[in-house]
Amino acid sequence: MRLALAEAAAAEATGDVPIGAVILDPTGTVIATGRNTREAEGDPTGHAEMVAIRAAAQTLQHQKTQANPDPHPKDWRLTDCTLVITLEPCTMCAGAIVLSRLTRVIFGAWDPKAGAAGSLHDVLRDPRLNHNPEVVPGVLEPECRAALDRFFNHRRQK
């Protein structure tokens, strides 16, 4: 989570909401990081989770291609990988988490206005879906919440 908080700080430096993400492979090795890039890139899908999921899929593709030169090893699944994120995922990101088959989601602060892992919605644990990752909420929640509060308080003061 501390690495995700560092990514959040980097997002804030570009004018984005300070949200950061990290994806770990089954051995606990970091295979991707992400931060909010909506403002920096003008991309409404530039959420930290989406950035990290795309990067993790590319990393795993590269690793699989190196291990097996088969020209069609397009397995995009992030099975047995863990996403660590500073804020509860929104509905868009929760959908991407389910579709990418991430096994575990660890998040810091709850998002009562847009959260889709138990606050407003619970997409990640919806039994109607074909995949439900384990959800671990509240990790370093005070630090994750403080980064967001500072950002929005500063913005309101302007």
Q: Does residue 47 have a known ligand-binding role?
A: yes
Structure tokens at 32: 């991707």
- Who's near 33: CB < 8 A, 6+ residues apart? 3, 4, 7, 20, 21, 22, 23, 52, 55
Structure tokens at 89: 């995922």
Count of alpha carbons within 13 angstroms of residue 6, beta-carbon side: 5
Q: So which residues are the catalytic ones?
A: 49
- Who's near 76: CB < 8 A, 6+ residues apart? 57, 60, 61, 100
Q: Does residue 90 have a known ligand-binding role?
A: yes
Q: Does residue 81 have a known ligand-binding role?
A: no
In angstroms, the CA 36 to CA 146 distance is 17
Residue found under tokens 């500063």? 154
Which residues are annotated as part of the binding site? 47, 90, 93
**Residue positions forming the annotated binding site for Zn(2+):** 47, 90, 93
